[in-house]
Every structure is written in C-alpha cells, then in structure tokens.
Amino acid sequence: MIPFGIFAGATAVALAVRSVLLRLLRRWSEKTESEIDDLFVAALRIPSIGWGVAIGLYVALGTSPLPAPYVAYSLKVIHVLVILSVTLVLANISSQLVAYSIRKAAISIPLTGLSQTIIKGTVLVIGFLILLGTLGISITPLITALGVGGLAVALALQDTLSNLFAGIHILVEQPIRVGDFIRLESGQEGYVTDIGWRTTRIRMLPNNMVIIPNNKLSQSILTNYYLPEKRMALLIPIGVSYETDPDHLERVLIEEATEGAREIPGLLADPPPMVRFIPGFGDFSLNFTLVCQVQEFTDQYPAQHELRKRILRRFRKEGIEIPFPSRTVYTRTVDGKAPAGDGQGNGTEKKEAGEEGRSGNG
C-alpha cells in the first residue's frame, strides 16, 4: 500500500501544480496579442494530465519493493509514453506555428493538408528515432530492412506514391495554390480549397466539390486565373450599324465604362477602359471591343451585366442602332429577261440537273 499511496500523492501534487501553471499561462496568454502563446497553452492542456500521472508512477516505482528488472522495464515504458506524447505535442504545435507564421507574414507559401502532413511527419520521424535510441535499438538493421521492404511497398502502392510525389511537385513548383481560381482541361472551374497528399479539392461556383488525383492534375493542361495576378482584362464585343460614327461610339463607350468603374463593384478604373475597332467590318455591322479591367475572374459576371445595361440605355438615348442580321440581294437582267444562269453556263447545268432529278423521282 505504501507505493500506491506514494503514487496517489505524487500524482495529486503533479496535477495540482499542472492546474496552477496552466491557469497562470492562460491568464498571461489572454493579456498578449500574439496567438503563439494560445497555441502552446491549448496544446499542453490534455497531454499534461498524462505527464502528471507519469510523474506519480515514476516516484512510486522508485520507492517500490519490486525487483530491479521489473522497475527498470516499467520506467522504460514510462519513458516511451512520455516521448510519444511529447512528440505528438511538438508535431501539432509545429504545424500550427508554421500555419500561423504564413498567415501573419502573408508570404506566397501554400498552406495545404499535404504541407502540414509533411511537417508533422518530419517531427514524428525525429521522435521515433529518439525513441529507438532510448530503447537501445540500433537503426542500421532497421534502415536495411526498410530499404528491402520499401521496394515491395513502392511496387504495391504505385498509384498512391505517384499522387504523393505529384502533390509535392505541385507544392514546390506552385502552378496552383490554395485559393486560386482555375479551369481544368476537362472544363471544370473553381477555387482550389486544399492540396492533399493524394487528391486536390476544387470548389466550383455552384458550390460543388471536384476531387482530382494529384497525378492527373499535374499532367493536365489548366488555366490559373490568379497568375501572374488576380486582375484580368474583360472584353465586351459590341456591334453597331454602318451609319454610326466610330469616334462618337468610342466616346460613348469610354464614358459609360469610366462612370461604371466608380459604381460597379470589381470593375477597375485603372488602367482606364479603351475601345478598339476589332474585329472590324462585319456582314451587317461595325464590330468594336470594349476592353476593361476587373479585380478577379468572378467579378467579370456582375461587371458585364451592369455594363451591358448601361450601354444599352445610352445607345437608346444617343440613337445608336444595334442592327439585326441582314443581307442585300442584287438581281440583274439580260435584255430585259432574267438570265438562265450566272453567265458562266451554270444556269443550263442547274436546269438539266433539275429535269434529271424530276425524271428520276417519277
């Protein structure tokens, strides 16, 4: 009963000290503006209970009448549990610290599920090696065994490893980043929400999720509308009648676009809008292109909606006509009679073909 009482007493003291320290740390973290101390306090709250129990066991085993070999084995088990718990805490804290640092510094490093997994995995591997050293296990035979077994695993998990390394390639080269708006070769488009160790998730505009294997994504042709920057050109084709003065039309369009840039969200006034006589002369209209700049890809839809309404109202006010498709057909006569053909023998051929067709139908 004496070792049990020592265990209970030591554990109670350790937990009481833990409670006091956590309360002091929590009060201190509430007074600071940084989030780093909050991360540490939150990460230590649950594992510290196990550490208090481990301290009680350590003290009790040190004073117990058990044989020395049993005490040594028990202490080694405690060491293993403490190392594992500390490793898990450090892995969680390190990933959260990296995420916090990236958000705070606003640097262009993608924070994804794969990157956090790599950070946690690195810390766990270091902790595992420390654990093996504590147990007195040599890692040289283990590395040899892993080398032989790794070949078999690589052959069995070709698809998984292909997706893993494709995800790492995407993170390093950064053709896409979390938050970018992209369009795939297959036609789907949306925001990149996460780049995982096996798949990449894209949230489409209808709020649906497209899940793509990383190796398929790395091999496909895609358009990133956020590179090299979010701002993009908006091209609005406009056709007017041939009676319209091109200079007057250009002034009207620039005035409406400039005024709209001050009122329409997402439509930019800098660089200023411009009008180009492109594609030019059409079959029944003069075709112009209004060139504006929008803040990002999705801003083009409301900007086009509002701009087209403003332009239509202004055209009606200015009397500028938007023509319907039309075609003028000219006919000519030869000696007061309609020609049998087009002057090149085609009329005779068409007549003969028509008679032959009627004869065949009969």
Task: Output the pLDDT for position 362.
Answer: 34
Residue 122 CA: distances (Å) to CA of 41, 90, 98, 126, 139: 22, 11, 13, 6, 17
Question: How confident is residue 174, by pLDDT bands cut at 50, 70 and 90?
Answer: confident
Q: What is the pLDDT of residue 346?
A: 45
Q: If pLDDT is split at 50, 70 and 90, which confidence band does 150 have?
A: low
* Torsion angle of C-alpha atoms 23, 27, 32, 38, degrees rounded to 10: 30
In terms of phi and psi (left: phi > 0; alpha: psi -120 to 50; beta: otherwise), the region of 360 is: alpha
Closest CA to 85 of 117, 111, 121, 47: 47
Question: How many helical (H) and strand (E) elements, i.e. helices and strands, does the chain have?
Answer: 11, 9
* Statement: residue 107 has pLDDT above 50: no
Residue 135 has pLDDT above 50, yes or no: yes
pLDDT of residue 203: 94
pLDDT for the residue numbered 276: 94
Provide the pLDDT confidence category of residue 313 given band limits of 50, 70 and 90: very high
Q: How confident is the model at residue 72 (pLDDT cuts 50, 70, 90)?
A: confident
C-alpha 27/C-alpha 49 separation (Å) is 19
**pLDDT band, residue 149 (cuts 50/70/90):** low
- Of residues 65 and 348, more confidence is placed in 65
Query: Span 11-16, mean pLDDT?
Result: 83
Higher pLDDT, 98 or 199: 199
Residue 266 has pLDDT above 80, yes or no: yes
Task: Identify the three-state secondary structure at position 62.
Answer: helix
Nearest to 261 by CA among 289, 234, 227: 234
Determine the average pLDDT of the residues in 251-277: 93
Supply angle C-alpha 12, 18, 20, rounded to 5: 105
- Among 9-18, 308-317, 336-345, the minimum mean pLDDT is found in 336-345
When mean pLDDT is compared across 11-15, 126-130, 181-185, 207-211, the lowest value belongs to 126-130
Distance CA 253, CA 307 (A): 10
**Cα–Cα nearest to 292, from 312, 314, 308, 269:** 269
Give 160 or 346, the one with higher predicted confidence.
160
Whether CATH 2.30.30.60 fits 160-224 = yes
Looking at the predicted structure, is the pLDDT value of residue 56 above 90?
A: no
Question: What percentage of the chain reaches a pLDDT higher than 70?
Answer: 80
Minimum mean pLDDT range among 41-50, 200-209, 283-292, 312-321: 41-50
State residue 67 phi and psi, 5-degree precision. -60, 150
For the chain, give the mean pLDDT: 80
Least confident of 13-27, 133-147, 262-276, 335-349: 335-349
The per-residue pLDDT for 124 is 80
Determine the average pLDDT of the residues in 176-192: 91
338: pLDDT strictly greater than 70: no
Q: What kind of fold does domain 232-318 have according to CATH? A: Alpha-Beta Plaits (3.30.70)
Asked whether residue 361 carries a pLDDT value surpassing 80, the answer given is no
The answer to whether residues 197 and 164 touch, using CB atoms and an 8 Å cutoff, is yes
Q: Could you give the CA distance from residue 115 to residue 146 in angstroms, rounded to a whole number?
A: 24
96-110, 155-169, 217-231, 301-315, range with the lowest pLDDT:
96-110
Q: Is the pLDDT of residue 57 over 80?
A: no
- The DSSP code for 334 is B
H or E element, residue 279: strand 274-281
pLDDT at position 351: 38
